[in-house]
Structure 1
Amino acid sequence: MAELRFRERWQWRGRGPWRRAGETPRGRHRFRALLAVLVTAAVVVPLTAAARPGIPAPDPARLAPPTAATLDEAYAANRANAALASRMAAVHGDSHRAASDRALAAPSRRLLSFDGRGSGRAVEVFGDLAHADRVAVLVPGSDTSLDTYERFRAGAAALHHRLARQAGASRTAVVAWLGYTTPGTISGTAITPDRADEAAPDLREFLRGLRAVTGPGSQVTLVCHSYGSVVCGRAAPHLDVTDLVLLGSPGTGAESAADLRTRARIWAARGADDWVADVPHVSAGLFGTTVGFGTDPLSPSFGAHVFAAGPGGHSDYFRPGSASLANIARIVLGETSEVSGA
């Protein structure tokens, strides 16, 4: 809903703060004023969001980096952390978070990590990760937290289901990586790379550690949605992944796919009804930070492999039966000649 409100309020209609060629000086002043407010919000909002009391940090002594042999122990330890966080949230009267954490603590859940502090972080596995030939790692965009985790999880589950149907002899797994504090859609952090800069080292470390679980022969595809594509752009140099998929991307911060400095194939798609198409693809210094993320990944000058995403909107890339989900699955499975173009 926040993304829909953002679209309705800020999509370019030939007027308002977002301006294209021929904007007036008055429009530029309004645009700068808006950015000043949003950049201020980028400082204030994280401080207030961090004030969720009573949730302990994960115990590092219990949570050594997992290996293929210790996956079940890691899953159990993280479920226990989620159960504890649920009880603590209930004590503090946060029934919504208590329910979210309690769902993550269910015996069927496979959590590689869990941290209930603040907006929360979790990494969940779908499938047999230790024996997977093909692995997709999903990186979410703005407004994703433990409070909204189920919608992110639904996308990962849909991709896993599609891969299982399509995989043939390949063994597959999907990892939902909520490993960073995402920005709010309507906030200063959503138009600057600050959160992505914080998240990129954690994503690199996670992908390196993944090799201890899957082994060197597995093929890993990084699937990055919305602001998550900014995170992936920051983490991209020298990543050991086969493919990097950008969905509904506002830009990566790079001017071209080559500037990402990765050997991975770069793919990009945008649904016909995705409001990100109306966001100006610019990057500029303002008030001591960078605003915007540069070249549109669908632009021919960027140099990505553009594929069809169908008529969907910003939240529809993993919708069962969609063209985008089918194409993402083909990329993960290495069936690149079958990927349909835009």
Structure 2
Amino acid sequence: MRRARRRVRTALAAALAAAAVALTTAAAPAGDPYAAPRAVPFGVDLSARYGAVREDIGRAYDTARRAHDRDMRESLGQLLAPGRQFLAFDARGSGRVVEVLGDLARADRIAVVVPGADGRVTNFDSRKFAGGSASALAEQMRAEAPDVRVAVVAWLGYAAPASLSTAILTDDRAVGGARRLEGLVAELRTLNPSAPIGLLCHSYGSVVCAKAADGPSVDDIVFFGSPGTGVDDVGDLHTSARAWAGRGSRDWIQLVPHARLLGFGFGADPVSRGYGARIFDAGSVGHSDYFKPGTAALRNLALIALGREAEVGRAGHR
């Protein structure tokens, strides 16, 4: 019976991971010069996967050069730097980028950075967005635990809404993003079954993570700078993961009403007492500074990702 259940779980994980590869591609608006990435079959070894995605980035770079798309060309040139590893990439529309920092297959701990609004290929490496945030987290985790093998995934795997748009007020983008995130987690579980996985979910990314919480299991889900998660409390997440929440004292998101009406808004504040999350100290950071080096927020995020719960600085409910 156990073997049968294990086979079912393995098959489900493979199906979700394969779906993640397919769903990572973005719909291109009319006139978009960039080609769809080639499909990479699930199950190929990581080095082959990284190589195939790198070729897709190279083709997009050539397109950007021919199209005189300076911002894209410069950004893709950075992605093509030696040693960088990507699980997925799509230049169309606002773009998708999924980067791996570290040895994913041999890691002792895996952290996934899930960004919020305004993420694009052209700002991926910025400290305030997925790639830059993941780099800061990986560096902090290694400083806290130099003997632990860590892998950090920078996951711009969904069409992040723009801050100045009505999309930022609804969970429409989060629904599709959650399916893709579930697929990523399933793939990570297949590639490395033993490593604990933490989801670090910033701003609108916390809505994405909440919707993916009842998918393939993770060990920690961390909401920070969150406008709400679309549920009333931790119990509604339907997950066995430890749920954390934090908010910097200078984060403007605290001014957002925590309500939901006619499909707009995201409900309960995850740092409130009634929500039931573990509250970590995020210090005095602003909305875009949770991964800023030297902050309490970054150190506590790293400690959570390392599974060192007892060392995490705690804060009171708001």
TM-score interval (norm. to shorter): 0.7 to 0.9
Give the whole-Å Cα distance in 1 for the aligned partners of 2:84 and 2:207.
28
Pairwise CA distance, 1:66: 4.9
Aligned to 1:126: 101
Q: Structure 2 length normalisation: TM-score?
A: 0.87
Q: Which residue identity lines up with residue 176 of structure 1 in the other structure?
A: A
Q: 2 CA distance for matches of 1:138 and 1:279?
A: 23
Letter in 1 for 2:158: Y
3-state DSSP class of the match of 2:197?
strand
Greater shift, 103-112 or 117-126, is seen at 103-112
Q: 1:305 corresponds to which residue? A: 278
Choose which of 278, 303, 306 in structure 2 pairs with 1:330.
Answer: 303
Residue in structure 2 matched with residue 56 of structure 1 by the alignment? 35
Q: Call closer, same or farther: CA 1:52–1:305 in 2, change over 3 Å.
A: farther
Same amino acid, percent of matched pairs: 45
The yes-or-no answer on 1:141 pairing with 2:110 is: no
Question: What amino acid does structure 2 have at the position aligned with 1:183?
Answer: P
- In the alignment, structure 1 residue 165 sits paired with structure 2 residue 143: yes
Q: Deviations over 1:96-140 (max 9, x none)?
A: 011112221222210011111111001001111110010000110
The 5-angstrom pairing of residues 1-342 of structure 1 reads 50-51=29-30, 53-60=32-39, 63-66=40-43, 70-151=45-126, 152=129, 153-214=131-192, 216-285=193-262, 290-342=263-315
Q: CA RMSD in A?
A: 1.5
Secondary structure in 2 aligned to 1:268?
A: strand
What's the TM-score, normalizing by structure 1? 0.81
* Structure index of larger Rg: 1
Shift of 1:73: 1.3
Q: Distance in 1 between matches of 2:220 and 2:191?
A: 19
Spell out structure 1 runs of 4+ moving beyond 4 A.
none
**Distance change in 2, residues 1:305/1:223 (3 Å):** same
Which ranges in structure 2 are unaligned for 5 or more consecutive residues? Answer: 1-25
Please state whether the residue corresponding to 1:231 is helix, strand or coil: helix
Structure 1 unaligned blocks of 5 or more: 1-45
Q: Which amino acid aligns with 1:340?
A: G
Contact 2:34 2:63 in 1 (8 A): yes
Distance of 2:64 and 2:43 partners within structure 1: 27
Q: Output one character per residue of 1:150-175: Cα deviation in whole Å (capped at 9) or x when no partner.
A: 12211110110111111243211100
Count residues with an aligned counterpart: 287
